[in-house]
A and B are shown apart, each in its own frame.
Chain A
Amino acid sequence: MTSPLEQKKIKITGPSVVTANRTWDGIVIYRTARQDWSAKLSDAAIVRTSDEARALLAESVADDVGAVGAYIAPVEIKESGKIKPGNLREHIRLQGVTIDLPVPA
C-alpha cells in the first residue's frame, strides 16, 4: 500500500473519506459531516469528487488540535450501504493488526 502520507495532488477515483489519528491518544478517526471526528467509519462523511475531497481535507487539517496527519482514504460502499475500507492499509487501521497480539486485549 503506497503510503498516503505524501498526498500532493488531490484526485479521487471513487468514494473516499478523510481519516487521521486523534492527537491525545493516537487512535484512528474519521471526519464526519458534522465537522467533527468519530472512531467509527460508519460515521464518516463520504466524498465523491475531487473538489469535495479537497474541501473536506482542508476543513479537517484546520483542526490541528484534535487530529494529526489527516489524509484522504478510499472506501467501498456496499449495496447494503455499509462503508468498508478501500484497501488493506485502511482495513488494518480500522480493524487492527492482522495477527494475534502477544497479550490478548
Chain B
Amino acid sequence: MYAYDELDRTLINERVEEFRDQVKRRLSGELTEDEFKMLRLQNGVYLQLHAYMFRIAIPYGTLSSEQLRRLAHVARRYDRGYGHFTTRQNIQFNWIKLAELPDALGDLAEVGIHAMQTSGNNTRNVTSDQWAGVAPGEIEDPRIWSELIRQYTTLHPEFSFLPRKFKFAITASPHDRAAIKIHDIGLRLHRNAEGETGFEVLVGGGLGRTPFIGKTIKPFVHGRDLLSYVEAILRVYNQYGRRDNIYKARIKILVHELGIDKFAKEVEDEWQEMRDSDTALTLDDAMIEDIRSRFTYPAYEKLPHTPEELKKAAHDPLFERWRKNSVSTHKVQGYAIVTLSLKPVGGPPGDATADQMDALADLADKYSFGEIRVGHEQNLALPHVAKRDLPALWNALDKIGLATPNVNLVSDIIACPGLDYCSLANARSIPIAQELTRRFANHETADLIGRLHINISGCINACGHHHVGHIGILGVEKNGEEFYQITIGGRADENAELGALIGPAVPYGEVADVVEDIVEAYLALRARPDELFVDTVKRLGVEPFRERVYATR
C-alpha cells in the first residue's frame, strides 16, 4: 500500500470543499451548465443517459480494505448498491445525484480516494500492472514510478489543458498486464547492460476512432530522467498537437502525422535543451527513495511451497479447477496471487455489489494483508494470499459469487457500459456479454477452448478495447438498429496487435451465434490443443473464419 502524506490529504480535502461550493452555485443558478461542465468533469462527474455518472480513480489499481469498504458505502448510500470497474483501473457509479456528490466525494476523501484525473484533457489515472510488487520476475515495483508521475502531473498547469486526454501505463514485467502499447505513453521498466534501471518509452498508442499500437521512441531512459523525458514528450504534444479537431487531437495522430522518427527527434531536442537549462526535474535518489519508502509490503512468513491444506483440497475437482484458473505464482514462496472474476455467468462484466465489496474487504483483511488490486480486464485480485489459506478463501469467495473459474477464458469478457448507460453509445454491450457468458457457461468447454479474450465496445470510442480483443465486438448503428462489427486477432499484451474485420456487421440477435461459429472454426483449425486462438488467427489469417461465419449468412 502507498501511504499519503499531509500534502496529499490537504489537496484532496480542499478539492472536496471547492467542489461543494461549485455544486451549490450550480444548483442556485449562479453557475450555468456551460460554466459548470468543466468543473464537474474535473471531479469525474459525467452525465449519462439516466443520471450523472461518477468516476473514481484507483491509482495503479491498488486499494486497501478500508478504501474498498468506503466504495461499498458510497454504492449503498448514494447509488444503487453496486459499482462498475472499468478498463482503466477506475470505478464508476451510475446513478448518483449531483446534489449528493460533494458528500460522496467527502466520504471518499477521508480514506484518500479522489476523482481527479478521471476526465478532461489532462493526464488521466496512471495505470499499472495489477500484480505490481508481487509478480515473479518483475524488475521493480512499477507503482513507485506510477506514483511519481501521478504526483508530478496531478493538477500541473502545463498538463491540465492538453489538446486531448492523456493516458500513461507502466509495467515492469516481461508479460505486459498493463496494456502499455495502447496508451499515449507506455513505459516498460527494464535493466540495461550496465544493470541500471530505466524505461523503454512507447508513444502514440491508443484505440478509438483511429487505433494505433504505440511505438518505441527511446529504448532506455534512466529512472532519474523519467520526469524530464515525460515532460519533453508532453511539451512537444502541447506545442504541435491539434486543438482544432477533436478526432485528430490525441498524441497518436501527431506521432502518425509527423512520423515516429521526426517525433522522437523533436522530443530528444526538447529534452536535451531542458536538461541543459533546468535540472530541477532530475530525480535524485533521495526523492525516489522517499516514494519507495511509502509503499509498504506485508511481513511475509516463511512458508512451505505446497502446504498440507493445499494437498488435501486438491482432491476436490471444483477447487482444483478454480486454483488452476485463478491462482498465480507469487514472488514469495508459499504465497499466491488470486484473481477474482467479476464475470459471473449472466452478469454484467466488471460490476460488484456493495455487499460483495464489503465481504471482499473482510476477506482481504483475513487473507491478503488488507490489500486488493483492480486490473484493466475488469477483474479484482488479492495479491498476498498464503497458499495454505487458498481452500478457505475459495469457499468464502464462492459464497459471495467471486469464484467463477473463468479468468482469461472465453467468458471473461471485457465490456463497456454501452447503450444501457452511456450517452455516446450506438448499441448495447452488456446484454451481448451476458448472452456470451451463458453460451460458454460450461467450464469444460471453456477450458478446452483455452485463453480467449472477447472485448465489446458500444461505440467507436472503444472503452471496451475491442480493437485488441482476440475477438472484438463493436456496436454500430444501421438505420436505427443495433449492428456489430466483429474483428479477430487483436491482442493487448507485449505483442499487441489490432484485430482484423471478418466481414459485414451483424444484427444484435446474431452476435452470439457468430462468436460461436468463430470459436468452432478455431477448434477445428488449431494445429494443436495448446495453440491459442490468437495464434491460430495469426497463422491462418482471417479468411477461414470469414468463410465459416458468412457461408450460411
Contacts and interface: CB of A to CB of B under 8 A. Distances in A.
Interface of A: 1-3, 5, 21, 23-28, 64-65, 68-69, 87-89, 92-93, 96-99, 101-103, 105
A1 B421 CA distance: 13
Given A24-B98, A25-B98, A27-B50, A102 B347 contact: yes
A26 B423 CA distance: 13
Nearest to A101: B80
Given A23-B27, A26-B50, A101-B82, A88 B420 contact: no
A94 to B, nearest CB: 10
B50 A28 contact: yes
B26 A23 contact: yes
Given A1-B477, A102-B348, A103-B353, A24 B426 contact: no
Nearest to A66: B29
A87 B33 contact: no
A99 B82 contact: no
B468 interface: no
A68 B31 CA distance: 12
Nearest to B37: A68
Interface of B: 26-29, 32-33, 47-52, 80-82, 95-99, 347-348, 351-354, 419-421, 423-428, 430-431, 434, 477, 480, 482
25 contacts: A1-B419, A1-B477, A3-B423, A3-B425, A24-B98, A25-B51, A25-B52, A26-B48, A26-B52, A26-B95, A26-B97, A64-B33, A69-B33, A69-B47, A87-B480, A92-B420, A97-B420, A99-B420, A102-B81, A102-B348, A102-B351, A102-B353, A103-B81, A103-B82, A103-B353
A25 B97 contact: yes
Nearest to B76: A103
Residue from B49, B80, B348 whose CB has the most chain A CB atoms within 10 Å: B49
A101 B434 CA distance: 12
A99 to B, nearest CB: 5
A5 B423 contact: yes
Nearest to A26: B51
Contacts of A23: 26-27, 33, 98
B82 A24 contact: no
A92 B48 CA distance: 12
A69 B27 CA distance: 15
A75 B33 CA distance: 26
A11 to B, nearest CB: 16
A92 B427 CA distance: 11
Chain B CB count within 10 A is highest, among A68, A96, A99, for: A99
A93 B50 contact: yes
Q: Of residues A3, A88, A101, A102, which shows the largest number of chain B Cβ atoms within 10 Å of its Cβ? A: A102
Most A Cβ at <10 Å: residue of B32, B81, B482: B81
Contact of B33 (A68, A92, A93, A98): A68
Contact of B482 (A3, A69, A88, A93): A88
B295 to A, nearest CB: 32
Contacts of A88: 419, 480, 482
Contacts of B348: 99, 102
B431 to A, nearest CB: 6
A98 B51 contact: no
Contacts of A25: 51-52, 97-99
Contacts of B347: 102
Given A99-B420, A101-B82, A24 B51 contact: no
Given A65-B29, A89-B419, A103-B80, A98 B480 contact: no
Nearest to A70: B33
B431 A98 contact: yes
A96 B29 CA distance: 29
A1 B96 CA distance: 24
Contacts of B80: 101, 103, 105
B380 to A, nearest CB: 15
